[in-house]
Amino acid sequence: MARRYWNINLEEMLEAGVHFGHGTRKWNPRMAPYISAKRKGIHITNLTRTAHFLSEACDLVFDAASKGKQFLIVGTKNKAADSVARAAIRSRCHYVNKKWLGGMLTNWPTTETRLHKFRDLRIEQNKRTIA
């Protein structure tokens, strides 16, 4: 995997609130290396490490995309839904921006048959309205 330079700015990450983590009550101890402080009951994420790993993730995605791999973009929070849809449509990726259905990936054969059935019903419905 080739290393590339991604324009990841720590000040922009700080302004965007990337450093705000989860509450200090509910956390996974494996996250300890990535937490730099605790303030007002919230863990503060180490932005330097975050930027490093974000750069590595960008490299992986870039390499996979250049090989023609497909992606599934998921963002089900209300604030992220519109951005997820725009980004996915612009990059011609699949996306989920509403409710995530349990088993959508782990039970893919069933999900896929239901999606095909839904598509067939939609086609049949469109034929009826046209005729």
Strands (E), the chain: 20-23, 35-39, 42-45, 72-74, 94-96
Q: Identify the top-confidence range among 23-27, 65-69, 98-102.
A: 65-69
How many Å apart are CA 26 and CA 108, to the nearest integer? Answer: 31
Across residues 104-120, what is the average pLDDT? 89
Residue 1: band (very low, low, confident or very high) from pLDDT cuts 50, 70, 90:
low
Expressed as residue numbers, the domain containing 96 is 70-100
Q: What is the mean pLDDT of the chain?
A: 87
pTM, to two decimals: 0.65
Residues 116 and 53 in one domain: no
**pLDDT tens digits for 15-37?**
888 878 878 888 888 888 888 88
* SS3 state of residue 23: strand
Residues 64 and 3 in one domain: yes
- Number of domains forming the structure of the chain: 3
Residue 113 has pLDDT above 70, yes or no: yes
Residues 54 and 75 in one domain: no
CA 53 → CA 34, 47, 50, 60, 64, distances in Å?
Answer: 11, 10, 5, 11, 16
Using the structure block, give the residue that is written with the tokens 């990841």.
8
